[in-house]
Structure 1
Amino acid sequence: MNHPHPHKLCEVADLHDLHDEITGLRRHIHQHPELSFQEVDTAALVADRLQEWGYAVTRHIGGNGLVATLRAGSSTRSIGLRADMDALPIQEETGLDWASVKPGAMHACGHDGHTAMLLGAAKHLARTRHFDGTLNLIFQPAEEAGFDSGAQKMLADGLFERFPCDAVFGIHNHPGVETGTFMFRSGPFMAACDTVKIRITGRGSHAARPHLSVDPVVAAASLVMALQTVVSRNVDPMETAVVTVGSLHAGKASNVIPEFATLELSVRSFKPEVRELLEQRIRALVSTHAESYGAQASIEYLRGYPVLVNSEAETDFARSVAEELVGPEKVIAPFGPIAGSEDFAYFLQQRPGCFLRVGNGQGKPMLHNAGYDFNDDNIPVGAAYWTRLVERWMPVKPG
């Protein structure tokens, strides 16, 4: 799929004149974060700008989602590029001039930057229109929801039926890797993620009379340790899985044995059979462990995002575009797999495509950290990458 006029393909320098404008948009979005399913102002800002630049914008797809469409030439080819817009329920501690003004909410995952990179590409593509086909820009809400997410809701609203895409691509920043470095992997790339909510019910008592109680704290503490054996003793050592107890709550006073204890788990895997095994073993351990202490347990097992699987041809194509743009020395392939999860996986279940990563800088705070901030140096790089990807996917006919 070589472009007939390689010298016309977008370079990073072509986006430098937009850097200040798009950085300003990014920092405004960062300063005014909106949590999953609440992205009203963010979506309105994005939609208004895209309309100003000549896109046909359809709002309220799957809630606050929107799609901006631009056509050029006469080709029937089409492509979808996706950016997520929602923030996280974290109190920001960066001290930056553009830090969040909303208590308990911040862009700690870089969705403000993902949105900005795609907006930069959108403006440049609108002024050059150096492609032949249909471009669909997908701005998605509620990626951080965990289940019943923005991707699912946009698909349920007929996303790909209303806006056909031959393939779909998405990008996520990656702290710890040099800015402007692109990372790719075909096949399973990011993990399936399930959430488990457990309640152990015992019998409360005075702390001085434990023999009259059924202590749910002891049962819960023992269960935490038992759960550590699921991966180490039940999953094939050649496979990848994670079982993390992220929440354990019981009681409010030192002299009271409480009635119940609650736990919440994050469970991650890369293969359906491993995912099934994890659920089977966790359910069995929860039930038998509680019973062994004379307590009762209830369990809510919530299936979250599936494994994100990149298609081989589209990943090879996306990688080749990055190598052209920044050079092979700034491309890592294969990279991962990554134990984090991503609801872009649902898009890839319906269309071929690739989800890739771009470095956010070495020595920078990790994602979902109160000290995190998206690296604005990525804006022209990411925008140029999206632009060139479109130009190469839907090349202008010679002559």
Structure 2
Amino acid sequence: MGILPIIDESTAELTDLFKDFHEHPEIGFQEVRTSGVVAAKLREYGVEEVYEGIAGTGVVGIVKGKGDSPRRVGLRADMDALPIHEETNLGYSSKNPGVMHACGHDAHTTMLLGAAKYLARTRNFAGTAILIFQPAEEGLGGARGMLADGLFEKFPCDEIYGMHNYPNGQPGTVGICKGAAMAGASFFDITVQGKGSHAAMPQQSRDPLVIASMLVAQFQTILSRNIAPLDSCVLSVTQIHAGSAYNVVPDTATLAGTIRYFKDEVRDTAETRMTELCEGFAKAYGVEIRIDIRNVFDVLMNDHDLSDAYLEAAADIVGAENISGDDEPATGSEDFADMLKVVPGAYCRIGHSGTTGLHNPSFFLDPEILPVGASVMARIIERRMPAGA
């Protein structure tokens, strides 16, 4: 089958849209310009119902197919960028200093718009397509915000599908990891409140830097001594801040980082042990240690049957030889997981010719995959709600 005709004819338009989004990136919950362009394009394409302002900057479009089928299938794309200064030197580099689409959400948004154009033009399906443009995926709770705003109460879905670019140097490949596909994540902040002193008289202090350093080391024993060897868990301390002078032992030190996991009980064990270690160190050294751990992403669970359905739709576009249903799980996280906890569905990765990793200031997304992703999204709607069914 290949690229769907209307989408193929719209390749130049999609590329222009993608470059425009890339030039004007916006941080989560600030996607005012982006969501405005999305809503305007949906109306231009003939999408009959367009809802704005969901969770602040989210947009939902409704496309009705042929007949009176009650079936409703959702497609979701994220819109936000990252606080990264772009270093690609592309002709369409970010015009917003310190903000960059370094994860390809500009492409995801464009691909869903391409699918919207095709679906609104052809309506070759029986049911309703729910097109969800989500804000604030990058750890700011955009999916949970939309859910709290009544996303699936206002726009019920029987199943839902998402997509992410994959800079693997293999354009036009589509892969899915069935079951637990992406890690859940918690973020943590820890404050060690010690007692400062002159650096030449450390005996007068209760040095928070020494205590914080030992906590970092002890946290790593949680993985080796508290988590079962066959369970996956990552515990990374990514920040440590203390002091402001060469000759002063500071009063406080702060730590921050993340836990990644594939089972909730593994997360619970890690969080419990971190809390116990903080309490023990506080008592042992006579200081106060405050710990705040908060869950940010759920484990992304791909439904096995719907994963197969998604791969079949992708095979119509890229060929059966370019799909894979046994991708490895990823320790990265994705808040589409929160939607999949409410509505069953699947999340695929689409390869492109870029090879620089995500969240890198030199990240490049090959726009040649735009019509491919748009076609896969449109095709899953047609397959899951076939006309005449």
TM-score w.r.t. length of structure 2: 0.96
| The one of 80, 87, 90 aligned to 1:86 | 80
For 1:93, give the aligned amino acid.
Answer: E
- Counterparts in 2 of 1:170-185, with a 5 A limit? 170-185=162-177
Q: Cα RMSD (Å) of the superposition?
A: 1.5
Counterpart of 1:389 (choices 380, 385, 389) is 380
Q: Work out whether 1:283 is the aligned partner of 2:275.
A: yes
Report the counterpart of residue 223 of structure 1 in structure 2: 215
Deviates more, 1:121-130 or 1:135-144: 121-130
Taking the TM superposition and a 5 Å limit, the aligned residue runs for 1:373-384 are 373-384=364-375
Structure 1 counterpart of 2:22: 30
Shift of residue 374, structure 1, vs aligned partner: 2.1
What is the distance in 2 between the residues matched to 1:120 and 1:294?
61
Which residue does 1:365 correspond to in 2?
356
Deviation at 1:13, TM superposition (A): 5.9
Which residue does the alignment assign to 2:124? 130
1:177 Cα deviation (Å)? 4.9
Q: 1:112·1:374 contact (CA, 8 Å) conserved in 2?
A: no
For residue 333 of structure 1, what is the aligned residue in structure 2?
A: 325
Could you say what secondary structure the match of 2:238 adopts?
Answer: strand
Q: Is residue 344 of structure 2 the alignment partner of residue 352 of structure 1?
A: yes
Unaligned ranges ≥5, structure 1: 1-8
CA distance in 1, matches of 2:215, 2:283: 11
**Paired AA for residue 182 in structure 1:** V
Retained in 1: the 8 A contact 2:72–2:127?
A: yes
The share of aligned pairs that are identical, in percent, is 45
The letter of the residue matching 2:16 is: G
CA distance in 1, matches of 2:66, 2:118: 17
2:59 to 30, 49, 66: 66
Report the Cα distance in structure 1 between the residues aligned to 2:21 and 2:70, rounded to whole angstroms. Answer: 34
Alpha-carbon separation, structure 2, partners of 1:191 and 1:145: 13
Please point out which of 113, 121, 132 is paired with 2:115: 121
Give 5+ residue unaligned stretches, structure 2: none
Q: In the alignment, residue 286 of structure 2 is paired with which amino acid?
A: G
Stretch deviating more after TM superposition (229-238 or 9-18): 9-18
> Are the aligned partners of 1:10 and 1:387 in contact in 2 as well (CA < 8 Å)?
no
Q: TM-score, length-normalised on structure 1?
A: 0.93
Q: Distance in 2 between matches of 1:12 and 1:236?
A: 48
CA drift at 1:287:
2.2
Q: Is the 8 A contact 1:25 1:116 kept in 2?
A: yes
Distance 1:38 1:68 in 2: 20
Deviation at 1:291, TM superposition (A): 3.5
Q: Structure 1: how far apart are the matches of 2:172 and 2:289?
A: 49
Give runs of aligned pairs for residues 131-210 of structure 1, distance below 5 A: 131-146=125-140, 149-210=141-202
Letter in 2 for 1:37: F
In 2, the alpha carbon distance for the partners of 1:331 and 1:296 equals: 54
2:70 to 76, 87, 102: 76
Matched, 1:315 2:307: yes
Post-superposition CA distance 1:288-322 (Å, at most 9, x none): 23443333211011121111111122111111212
